[in-house]
């Protein structure tokens, strides 16, 4: 009897939110004057008006999720895991510090991307930081708000249940499961071909990292990790200079079979009067992003190397996988000892999640019959000191066809430049304006793929479209997120009797 009332309540809530959204579209026109010592009332008004202006200008940044009732805080999946953990006072403060940092990063991006006439209506960003500090001090002077925060920290899944219901997921997922199995077999066939015999249809271009002035060994890397984790939450957080050195230490060589301009690595940019970004291939760029994962009770540091291509060109007229922009993310998960524990990779749509295990770990089986299992086409090569892998990348599809110790010594060599992944959240436009590479929903505009008409019953919004960090759903069936802090524990096991029996 209560079920129909429950659904009616949900419908009413949706209607209320819709009507609230309509009201919020009233334009922000009045300048908000706040002095050097803002009040609680002024700060509450500031955040409310900022939200309204950002919604109208469509500059909302969704790399971290807002927290209801705490407009100065935001959370990602990693930080959200602490909500259910027993925390000491110092740990709780450290947790809120990081939630506030995510909130400040998101607010700054949103303000930077506002149209100048709208941005001029607000006080400087420093005032937003002041207001965040003031509201935080007020909120957590009340002990009950600690529990309220824990209950409010929610990062939504990228999988939409309503699509799965409409798409008869429990039936259609079996067809997708078969398709994924066949795809994995095709990938394995490619990996069985000796590296020297892999077909080259264009020119092999090698993209090398900038030369390292201060190379690190495993002992030095371990020391950086241990030292940077000396905080109440034991999160490895290397300094800016240490981060640069770590990325340089594990920087891969990207060796791309280049058949056309669409196979060249570059930097996303906005051109005048364009409704979708393009990739400037005159600037070979690798974007760096730090993340964290859990493994056997410890928080591990992860290095993400992200590249972009102008397109995934269509192979034929009915190719449902082709489209504007393409990209790859190569991730290195570091052990506390300063060596790679495992590597994994996705296309920047979240698709084609592959693992490359070291001799320290093996893959775990899937948790359920309709949960996509982790897949590894190759064990990662054992690398010597200060040696990084070469990623052999196919033309057109941009699949990684091999991970090797040494590149094939042929073709032109280019040096890529480094950039911070966060820079993609606010790219320059003409006239001093700025715009994110990503829409408010975390999707790169103009990157639609035909596969969305087939894969929508799996619940993924816009399958095949390029995505922002935090929005990478990586399982075609089941559920898996690239930034899930429990991903490695669910996918990998330490090399022991389990690995010998199950592999």
- For residues 94-106, give the mean pLDDT: 99
467: enclosing H helix or E strand: none
Would residue 17 count as lying in a domain? no
Note whether 411 and 204 are within 8 A (CB). Answer: yes
Task: Please report the pLDDT score of residue 442 as a whole number.
Answer: 98
- In this structure, are 133 and 236 located in the same domain? no
Task: Please report the pLDDT score of residue 355 as a whole number.
Answer: 99
Beta strands in 188-319 (DSSP E): 203-208, 253-258, 267-269, 278-280, 285-295, 298-312
- In this structure, are 88 and 204 located in the same domain? no
| Pairing, β 361-363 against β 492-494 | antiparallel
Q: Rounded CA gap, 172 and 158, in Å?
A: 19
Q: Rounded CA gap, 437 and 425, in Å?
A: 6
Task: Please report the pLDDT score of residue 498 as a whole number.
Answer: 62
Q: Containing domain of residue 91, as a range? A: 27-152
CB neighbour list of residue 44: distance below 8 Å, 6 or more residues apart: 135
Task: Please report the pLDDT score of residue 503 as a whole number.
Answer: 58
| pLDDT surpassing 50 at residue 16 | no
Of 152, 174, 193, the residue at which a domain comes to its end is 152
Task: Please report the pLDDT score of residue 30 as a whole number.
Answer: 76
- In this structure, are 108 and 226 located in the same domain? no
Task: Please report the pLDDT score of residue 502 as a whole number.
Answer: 61
Note whether 446 and 325 are within 8 A (CB). Answer: yes
- In this structure, are 47 and 120 located in the same domain? yes
Least confident of 125-134, 259-268, 309-318: 309-318
* pTM for this predicted structure: 0.93
- In this structure, are 63 and 174 located in the same domain? no
Q: Rounded CA gap, 226 and 337, in Å?
A: 9
- In this structure, are 51 and 132 located in the same domain? yes
Would residue 55 count as lying in a domain? yes
Would residue 16 count as lying in a domain? no
The structural domain count of the chain equals 2
Question: What residues pair up with 323 in beta bridges, in sequence order?
Answer: 312
DSSP label at 174? H
Nearest CA to 133 among 54, 66, 71?
A: 71
Note whether 447 and 439 are within 8 A (CB). Answer: no
CB neighbour list of residue 5: distance below 8 Å, 6 or more residues apart: none
pLDDT in tens, 223-269: 999 999 999 999 999 999 999 999 999 999 999 999 999 999 999 99
Q: What are 437's two structure tokens?
A: 């590479």
The residue count for the chain? 503
- In this structure, are 461 and 482 located in the same domain? yes
User: pLDDT over 70 for what percent of the chain?
Assistant: 92
- In this structure, are 60 and 178 located in the same domain? no
| pLDDT surpassing 90 at residue 88 | yes
| pLDDT surpassing 60 at residue 18 | no
More confident residue, 206 or 12: 206
Q: 214: buried, middle or exposed (CB in 10 Å: 19+, 13-18, 0-12)?
A: exposed
Q: Rounded CA gap, 208 and 416, in Å?
A: 6
- In this structure, are 464 and 365 located in the same domain? yes
- In this structure, are 473 and 376 located in the same domain? yes
Average pLDDT along the chain: 92
Task: Please report the pLDDT score of residue 213 as a whole number.
Answer: 76
pLDDT in tens, 470-497: 999 999 999 999 999 999 999 999 987 5
């Amino acid at each position: 009897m209560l079920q129909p009332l429950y659904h009616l309540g949900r419908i009413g809530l949706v209607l209320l939110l819709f009507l609230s959204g309509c009201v919020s579209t009233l334009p922000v026109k009045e300048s908000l004057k706040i002095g050097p010592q803002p009040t609680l009332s002024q700060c509450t008004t500031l955040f409310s008006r900022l939200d309204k202006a950002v919604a109208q200008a469509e500059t909302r940044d969704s790399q971290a999720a807002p927290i209801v009732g705490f407009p100065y805080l935001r959370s990602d999946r990693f930080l959200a895991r602490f909500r259910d953990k027993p925390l000491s006072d110092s740990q709780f403060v450290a947790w809120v510090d990081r939630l506030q940092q995510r909130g400040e990063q998101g607010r700054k991006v949103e303000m930077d991307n506002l149209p100048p006439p709208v941005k001029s209506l607000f006080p400087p960003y420093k005032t937003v930081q002041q207001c965040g500090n003031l509201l935080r001090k007020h909120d957590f002077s009340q002990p009950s708000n600690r529990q309220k925060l824990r209950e409010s920290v929610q990062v939504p899944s990228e999988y939409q249940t309503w699509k799965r219901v409409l798409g008869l997921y429990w039936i259609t997922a079996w067809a997708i499961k078969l398709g994924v199995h066949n795809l994995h077999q095709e990938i394995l066939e490619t990996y069985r071909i000796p590296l020297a015999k892999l077909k080259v249809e264009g020119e092999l271009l090698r993209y090398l990292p900038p030369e390292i002035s201060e190379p690190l060994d495993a002992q030095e890397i371990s020391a950086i990790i241990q030292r940077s984790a000396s905080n109440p939450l034991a999160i490895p957080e290397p300094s800016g200079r240490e981060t640069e050195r770590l990325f340089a230490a594990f920087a891969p060589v990207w060796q791309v079979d280049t058949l056309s301009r669409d196979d060249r690595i570059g930097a996303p940019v906005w051109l005048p009067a364009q409704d979708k970004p393009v990739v400037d291939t005159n600037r070979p760029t690798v974007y760096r992003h730090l993340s964290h994962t859990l493994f056997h009770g410890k928080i591990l540091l992860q290095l993400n190397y992200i590249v972009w291509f102008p397109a995934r060109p269509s192979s034929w007229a009915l190719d449902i996988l082709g489209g504007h922009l393409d990209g790859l993310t190569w991730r290195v998960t570091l052990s506390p000892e300063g060596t790679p524990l495992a590597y994994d990779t996705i296309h920047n749509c979240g698709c084609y999640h592959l693992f490359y295990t070291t001799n320290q770990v093996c893959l775990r089986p899937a948790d359920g019959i309709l949960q996509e299992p982790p897949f590894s086409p190759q064990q990662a090569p054992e690398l010597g000191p200060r040696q990084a892998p070469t990623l052999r990348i196919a033309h057109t599809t941009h699949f990684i066809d091999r991970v090797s110790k040494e590149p094939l010594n042929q073709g032109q060599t280019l040096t890529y430049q480094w950039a911070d992944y966060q820079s993609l959240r606010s790219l320059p436009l003409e006239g001093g304006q700025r715009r994110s590479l990503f829409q408010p929903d975390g999707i790169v505009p103009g990157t639609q793929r035909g596969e969305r008409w087939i894969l929508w019953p799996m619940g993924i919004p816009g399958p095949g479209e390029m995505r922002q960090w935090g929005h990478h759903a990586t399982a075609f069936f089941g559920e898996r997120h690239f930034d899930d802090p429990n991903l490695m524990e669910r996918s990998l096991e330490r090399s022991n009797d389990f690995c010998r029996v199950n592999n």
